[in-house]
Structure 1
Amino acid sequence: MLLRIYRGIGPGTILVIFLSLVLVWLQTLLNPVESSLYYNTNPAPLYSLLINLFQGKPLAGILFTMVLVAATGIYLVNFNTRLFFINERTFLPASLYVLLSGYISSNQVLNPVLPASILLLFSVDRLIVSYRKPGIAYNLFDASMIIGIAALIYTNIIWFYLLIIIGISLFRSLNFREILISFIGLLTPFIILYAFYYLTCRDIGWLNNFFIDSIMTQIPDFYWSPVFILISTINLIILVISLLYLWSIFNTKKVRSRKIFSLLTWMLVLAVVVYFVIPAASAGLMYVFLIPLVYILTHYLVMVRNKKIANYVFAIIFLSVLFLQLSRAVVI
């Protein structure tokens, strides 16, 4: 019953998703505070514009973040509708994204990872549409440049340039020329930024140190409470089952769908690796992790034959977020 409501495509489902967004973010809306996260006190060049815009206005920053979550959900649905790699038109990717945006309460503030993750999704989209279209290497330049822009919002998104290299090998013939074009695209926003600093006589040394610190500074670890570990273990099992199911029917899918799911799987793996390997990577990477996650979960919930199991799985995900939000309310 619950799954049927959230996976629909009618106005009722849109209303439910909107209400879910408000409820998931209700605690944050009722208790707006200025974020003290590392990247809010040491913002990247482009993200500092947002910080200045919402400085002293925490509620406005939270509302803006909620709008970004809603916009990402809409784009996730549109992405599947256009490319049709899940074999069903459904609002379930948006539903899952909105619900899981409340999984880690510390992420429910104005933060750089969310806008950077949206740009990363744009980049992946730009890469995929180049499939079987010869002579449009500018798509690769654009896709890489978007990641470069995203890195000026959240520095550690730059590691996801590896997705472009992987994507070139998946969707095009891997050759040095296209890799070079993509790399130039990645560097372009940085070249423009450094040129701006040079022409305006700003401190380039500070900029160099900022980028180094944004990667190497050890930021406070996210606290994995016993309850959070238990709930996350259960949901990790669901993810593993969903992945195994996907790969069990992988060869029955169209070639482009297989390539898209392969790229999404790499995105999932990269998000985990960056979080655990890069000292300055934050729990905000959950917003990047959610992009492939919601597609993999949606595929399982839509395609699995036993609909009772699908309903149980969705109920577990729903109740996980509900419990985490309620436990946060008790603490507050």
Structure 2
Amino acid sequence: MILKKLKSNNSVSLILVPLVTLAFWLKSLQHPFAYDYFPGEQQNFLFKFIYVLVDGKPMIQVIIGIFLTIILAYLVQLVNDRYMFIRIKSKLPALLFAVIVGGFVPMHTLHPVYFGAIFILFAVDRLFAVYETKRAYSSTFDVGFILGVGALFYFNLVVFVPAFVIAIALLGRETGWREYVTLFLGFLLPFVFASAFAVLGDHFIGTVTILEQNIVTPVSHFRSNIPLQVYLATLILFTITGSIGMFKQYDTKKVSSRKYFTVFFWIFIFSLASFTFIPVTSQEMLVITSIPVTYLIANLFVFMKSRFWSELLFILLVLIVVSMQFSFDLF
């Protein structure tokens, strides 16, 4: 009965988003902490202006993290409501995103990835406007520009540019080389502005050094992190189950829904690839990976015919997230 109420189209789930987020971040509010940044991570071009204001104020950093997570949850819902790729109207995606991120306890504070995730969703929203559109030069430029600005907060957004190139090929109508050129021009423009600002401020070399640190610094928060490993294994099982359900529905879905889900698939793939090929990528990327995973699992719950199994799986997911709040004290 719990899931049945939450996956309906009423506003209950939306009202619960801030409450659920606060509940899962409560421990961080009681014992606020600052993220353990590697050198240069907090100095990314745009994020550093925010970090200067909150440096040494862990409570403020946690509160901002909560606020950004709630915004992300509502943006996840907004994109689905606008393009209806989960064909049954449901407010579950927003709440489900808040639940999933609630399990990433080490990320329950301020990190540039939250800004990066917001810009990813803005870019996806603009990208989907390309569907079946000829000469979508304005939209593709906007997509690139949004990604470029986001990368000035969280540099690893660069890895998603190929995913959006593939997405334009999937969604566009009679797509030509100009759409790809405008995407790259839009992406590079914020870096041109940032470089000009750095040159005028006489700190261009320092800026380049920070960007280099945001690529080659080896970071791993997964080693010996047993609770996070167990939680990720659980999410992998849910993702596999959701993928099987998606394959079963694939032929019955509208063409637009198939293509939208395929776009999220490529975003998911490139987020996973970054863990392998970019040394600096670690647990923070899971926030972005959670976006396509949220849509996939929400689709699973919305269309699952067995009320018993859907309720059981949802309760199991929530209980695992709850256990994550205490597991780090045991290990």
TM-score, structure 1 length as denominator? 0.94
Matched to 2:125, the amino acid is D
For residue 192 of structure 2, what is the aligned residue in structure 1? 191
Higher deviation after alignment, 222-231 or 149-158: 222-231
Residue type of the partner of 2:183?
S
Matched, 1:254 2:254: yes
Write the distance in 1 (CA, Å) between the matches of 2:193 and 2:17.
40
Q: Which residue of 1 aligns with 2:319?
A: 319
Partner SS, residue 163 of structure 2: helix
Equivalent residue number for residue 58 of structure 1: 58
Alignment partners' CA distance in 2, 1:168 and 1:11:
33
Distance 1:39 1:51, change over 3 A: farther
Query: Aligned with 1:37: secondary structure?
Result: coil
In the alignment, is the contact (CA less than 8 A) between 2:135 and 2:179 conserved in 1? no
Please state how far the C-alpha of 1:210 moved relative to its aligned partner.
1.7
How far is the alpha carbon of 1:41 from its aligned partner?
Answer: 5.7
Q: Which amino acid aligns with 1:177?
A: R
Q: Is the 8 A contact 1:80 1:89 kept in 2?
A: no
Following superposition, the deviation at residue 162 of structure 1 comes to 1.1
Which shifted more, 222-231 or 268-277?
222-231
Equivalent-residue separation in structure 1 for 2:224 and 2:248 (angstroms): 32
Tell me if structure 1 keeps the 8 A contact 2:113–2:284. yes
Structure 1 residue runs without a partner (length 5+): none
Aligned position for 1:20:
20
Question: Is the contact between residue 47 and residue 153 of structure 1 (CA under 8 Å) also seen in structure 2?
Answer: yes
Paired position in structure 2 for 1:33: 33
Aligned partners of 1:34, 1:104: CA distance in 2, in Å? 15
Residues in 2 aligned to 1:268 and 1:54: alpha-carbon distance in whole angstroms = 31
Read off the aligned partner of 1:22 and give its amino acid letter. L
How far residue 284 of structure 1 moved from its aligned partner, in angstroms, is: 0.5
Tell me the SS of whatever aligns to 1:221.
Answer: coil
Change (3 A) 1:226 1:36: closer
Report the alpha carbon displacement of residue 313 of structure 1 after superposing the two structures with TM.
1.5
Deviation at 1:139, TM superposition (A): 0.7
Which range moved further: 31-40 or 295-304? 31-40
Moved more, 249-258 or 56-65: 56-65
Letter of the aligned partner of 2:179 in structure 1? E
Would the alpha carbon gap of residues 280 and 225 (structure 1) be closer, same or farther in structure 2, given more than 3 Å must change? closer
Aligned counterpart, 1:144: 144
The residue that corresponds to 2:99 in the other structure is 99
Shift of 1:40: 7.2
Q: Is the 8 A contact 1:113 1:284 kept in 2?
A: yes
What is the distance in 2 between the residues matched to 1:61 and 1:67? 10
Matched residue, 1:111: 111
Kindly indicate whether the alpha-carbon contact (under 8 Å) linking 1:128 and 1:171 is maintained by their aligned counterparts in 2. yes
In structure 2, runs of 5+ residues without a counterpart are none
**Which residue type is aligned with residue 142 of structure 1?**
D
2:208 corresponds in structure 1 to 208
Instruction: Give 1:182's aligned residue.
Output: 183
The sequence identity of aligned pairs, in percent, is 24
Contact map agreement 2:35 2:109 (CA 8 A) in 1: yes
Partner SS state of residue 34, structure 1: coil
Q: Distance in 1 between matches of 2:27 and 2:120?
A: 28
Find the residue that maps to 1:237 and give its secondary structure. Answer: helix
With over 3 angstroms needed to count, the CA separation of the structure-2 counterparts of 1:71 and 1:171, relative to structure 1, is same
Cα RMSD of the aligned pairs, angstroms, is 1.8
Tell me the CA shift for residue 241 of structure 1: 1.3
Matched letter for residue 184 of structure 2: F
Q: State the 1:331 CA deviation.
A: 4.6
Contact 1:163 1:267 in 2 (8 A): yes
Q: What TM-score do the two structures reach when normalised by structure 2?
A: 0.94
Q: Deviations over 1:49-71 (max 9, x none)?
A: 11012122221221111111111
Q: In the aligned structure 1, how far is the partner of 2:18 from the partner of 2:44?
A: 31
TM-fit CA distance, 1:218: 0.7
Are the structure 2 counterparts of residues 109 and 257 from structure 1 closer, same or farther at C-alpha, using a change threshold of 3 Å? same
Pick closer, same or farther for the CA change 1:292–1:311 going to 2, 3 Å.
same
